[in-house]
Copies of this chain bind each other. A is one copy, B any other.
Amino acid sequence: RRKFLVTGGNGFIGSHVAKALFDRGEFVRVADLSPSSAFAEPICDETYTGNLCDSHFCERAVKGMDTVLHFAATMGGMGTIHEGNDLTIYPENSTMTFNILAASIRAGVRVFFYASSACVYPEHRQTDPNADVSLEESHVWDGGIPKPQGHYGLEKLTSELLVLQSASKINVRIARFHNVFGPRGAWNNGREKVPAAFLRKALSIALAGKFPAELEIWGNGRQRRSFLFIDDCVKAILKLVESTCDKPVNIGSDRAVAIEELAKIAVQCAGLQAEDVKFCYDSDSKPIGVCSRNSNNVFARETLGWSPSVSLEEGMKQTAEWIREEMKKNL
């Protein structure tokens, strides 16, 4: 039995990964601020509740572990990681990553996995909503001084460098996630990303039963993104951890859609007819992020033999079912 520490293991991606390892029979310890996950069933052998900004907590958390998977972060959609929060997100996330990495090196942990993000890519590449912007791993470094997306993206980038600089002391693995979604992801706490946000809005309309109703899109709806279903994401993470790839690798879907197209899929998944819903647009007061972003998966295919297999429609359907159940609990 190998021993895994999953930081942020009660969060969205971390809890799915912890559960996959636990179900496989590995020893799994979760370290998180939060004492429990969104799963009803057990996902790990033990939970350490505490703050990873505290280096002593990190020391305790890594003790006896072979592999550390570091997911913990202050994280959210554009509603969370915007400029107003820059000066709190940066120091928290970078302190956590430094602490857990340093503790892992000191404790002789063998493999360290770091959860980075598509936000490391330069904003200036992602300004044309009519282009399909396929981001290759090397694009971070090809235009002089890198300009990642906000302080959230900057922290991911500087932490990648910190992890890479430690590659002589510990086996490092780095994933750059592109918009991961699915059951148990944030959907109603202000941290949700756009797939869950649209599903919540569409399902609320269906529940209320008054048609036609308005569904608000931030921006003009033509901004493009790709969305990766959580089951595909977990598979990729496990492949990466077992691989010998010590360079950052995209873990994302390479099918980009306009946000308005995603909204239409959400409407369908909520069981609504297209004419039940009227889109309205808020381009002024809401954060929009980049105009166009897609994951280039050539390197992931080559090094991990991995590609996503769940379609956006299927992933949205499963997510809709989960959010519907959650909404019912709250009624």
Chain A contact residues, CB within 8 Å of chain B: 87, 90-91, 94-95, 98-99, 102, 105-106, 138, 141, 144-148, 151, 154, 157-158, 161-162, 164-165, 247
In the complex, A162 Cα to B155 Cα: how many Å? 9
- B91 contacts A98, C-beta separation under 8 Å: yes
- A87 nearest CB neighbor, chain B only: B102
Question: CB-CB < 8 A to A147: which residues of B?
Answer: 165
Q: Residue of B at shortest CB range from A247?
A: B145
Instruction: Give me 26 A-to-B residue pairs in the complex whose CB atoms sit less than 8 angstroms apart, sorted by A's number.
Output: A87-B102, A87-B105, A87-B106, A90-B98, A90-B162, A91-B95, A91-B98, A91-B99, A91-B102, A94-B94, A95-B95, A138-B144, A141-B141, A141-B144, A141-B145, A141-B146, A145-B161, A146-B161, A147-B165, A151-B165, A154-B161, A154-B162, A154-B165, A157-B161, A158-B161, A158-B162
Residue ID in chain B nearest A154 by CB atoms:
B165
Instruction: State the Cβ distance, A138 to closest chain B Cβ, in Å.
Output: 6
Minimum CB distance partner of A150 in chain B = B165
> What is the oligomeric copy number?
2
Across-interface contacts of A165 in B (CB, < 8 A): 147-148, 151, 154
A166 vs chain B, min Cβ distance (A): 9
Contacts of A158 in B (CB 8 A): 158, 161-162
Which residues of B are found within 8 Å of A95, using beta-carbon distances? Answer: 91, 95
Expressed in whole angstroms, the Cα–Cα distance for A90 and B146 within the complex equals 21
Q: A90: which B residues are within 8 A, CB to CB?
A: 98, 162
Q: A247 to chain B: which residues have CB within 8 Å?
A: 145
Which residues of B lie under 8 Å from residue A162 when comparing CB positions?
90, 154, 158
Q: How far is the CB of A53 from chain B (nearest CB, A)?
A: 11
Q: Looking across the interface, which residue of chain B has its beta carbon closest to that of A162?
A: B154
Ranked 7 nearest A-B pairs via Cβ? A158-B158, A87-B102, A154-B165, A141-B144, A91-B98, A145-B164, A158-B161
- Shortest C-beta distance, A147 to chain B (Å), equals 8
CB distance from A299 to the nearest CB of B (A): 13
Which residues of B have CB within 8 Å of A94? 94, 98
Q: A87-B102, A141-B145, A147-B165 are in contact. List 12 more A-B contacts (CB 8 A).
A: A87-B106, A90-B162, A91-B98, A91-B102, A94-B94, A95-B95, A138-B144, A141-B144, A145-B161, A151-B165, A154-B162, A154-B165
CA distance A45 to B94 in the complex (A): 35
Distance between Cα atoms of A95 and B247 in the complex (Å) = 26
